[in-house]
Structures are given as C-alpha cells and as structure tokens.
Structure 1
Amino acid sequence: MTQIDRDTDELVGEWLTIKEAAKALNVSPNRIKQLIREHRLLGVVRSGELSVPAAFLVDGDTPKGLQGTLTVLSDCGFTENEALRWMFTGDDSLPGSPIEAILANRGTEVRRRAQALLL
C-alpha cells in the first residue's frame, strides 16, 4: 500500500482505519482490503495504518459511481495519492470536487471527466 503524502492527507480530511471502515460497512477488515484491491475503495497508509477516506463510506455502503471512477483512474495510471488528489480537488466544471459530485449522485459526469484523462 502507498504511504499518503501530507498535502493529500490534508485535502482528504477525515479518514477511517480499516477496522472503522469494516464496522461502518458491517464487514470484516479483510473484506475492506479486498474492496481496496478491487478498486471499489481506495486505501493508503497514514500514520502507519491502512486507512480509507470517510467520504467513501455513506450509510453503510460505498457511494454509487465511486467504484467506476476509481477503476477509470487506475486505468489512467493514477497512483493512490494522485487519485485521491483528483477526487478531492475542486473542479469548476462540476462544480465542487469529484467526490462531492459522486455524493450528489452525479457519478456519470465524474466518470466522463476521468475517462477524458485517458485521451
């Protein structure tokens, strides 16, 4: 797993450890690690512990559109840090950040922008 850089850590804000994420989704910590491997979640090491952004877990699930976006970013060759920066950085064309748009059920718009990165 990738070690998070300070700027990205601050940009993301709230984090959950693997144990906290597992509790939020009512699954085992191993299942969280599997979701990270499958690009359904994105995890990084911060303060020596594997963690995921709290914004990636809503009402006991992952937000619709998150998995597809993370897959596209991975296909574009983004590292975990780069993907997190992209997801949490404001984009005037959305408006807001990609994660805010996903949480507002505008995942298709976000994936379109991510797919444009492939070109």
Structure 2
Amino acid sequence: MSDAVPQSDSPDAQHALDALVGAWMNLPDVAEALGIDVKRVRGLVADRRIIGVRRGERGVFQVPAAFLVDGEDGTEVLPSLRGTLMVLGDVGMSDAEVLRWLFEPEESIGTAPVEALRSGRTHEVRRVAQALA
C-alpha cells in the first residue's frame, strides 16, 4: 500500500481517504438509491456486501457512492464488490484499509481497483488482492 495515505484513523488519514473516495452516501441515501429501506441497507453492511466508515464530526456511517452502479433493474450495489471484500478481509485488512486499497491507483492494474471492478475486470482485481496475503 502506498505511503501517500496515512494508515491510522487520524484526521489526516480521514482527509486522505476523503480525497481518494470523493463522493460518499449515508445509509438513507443508499436506501433511496436502491429503492429499499434503511434496515435492508444495514443488512447489506452486516453481510459485507458493502462497506463504509464513520466520517465527520458526528461520526455518520457512510459508503462510497462508487459502490452503486446502474444495473438492468435500476441502481444496484456493484456486483463484484462482495467477493472482492471477502478476499481483502481474508488478507486481514480493516474496512478503512480496504477502502484505501480500492480507491488508490494500483500500478499492476493501471487504475484504482474500484474503477477496474466497475469496468468488469473482477478477476484481475481479485488476483492482485490475493497476492497481498
């Protein structure tokens, strides 16, 4: 992982993560985008189908907007995200570390892993993620 992003939960680390991720959504906004209730979104978080972090002075839990994509039936969670989150969890990364890894440019992929996932390059991203172990 790059030294460009602080590795702690310090304000500097949060600011660096914010700069990488860009747009964030709170759970009610995710629920509205997906057309489901907030309880179901909390279930998605509990099942690790989507992750986020607490942000800001009030510590509101938010997820990156990039995790939502247009699907055949409307907005959906990026389908390749869950398996990728499982791989990264298996290598021992915290959710904040996973987010940094997903949004930092990865030299071996040629882009940020989340962008590669959004463009359908799931196997390539997971192969690189597994090599982190």
Same fold (TM over 0.5): yes
Q: Output one character per residue of 1:64-97: Cα deviation in whole Å (capped at 9) or x when no partner.
A: 3111111111111111110000000001221100
Alignment match, 1:13: 22
Aligned with 1:55 (options 55, 59, 66): 66
Unaligned ranges ≥5, structure 2: 1-8
User: More strand per residue: 1 or 2?
Assistant: 2
Cα distance between partner residues in 1 of 2:87 and 2:48: 9
Match of 1:22 in 2: 31
CA distance in structure 1 between the aligned counterparts of 2:80 and 2:30, rounded to whole angstroms? 18
Which residue does 1:66 correspond to in 2?
A: 81
State the 1:25 CA deviation.
0.9
CA positional deviation for 1:113: 0.8
Taking structure 2 as the reference length, what is the TM-score of the superposition?
Answer: 0.82
Percent same amino acid at aligned positions?
A: 42
Q: Which has the higher contact order (CA 8 A, sep 6+)?
A: 1
Structure 1 portions without partners, runs of 5+: none
Deviation above 6 Å: which 4+ runs of structure 1? none
Distance in 2 (CA, whole Å) between partners of 1:38 and 1:69 is 13
Normalised by the length of structure 1, the TM-score is 0.91
Number of equivalenced pairs: 116
**2:111 matched residue in structure 1:** 96
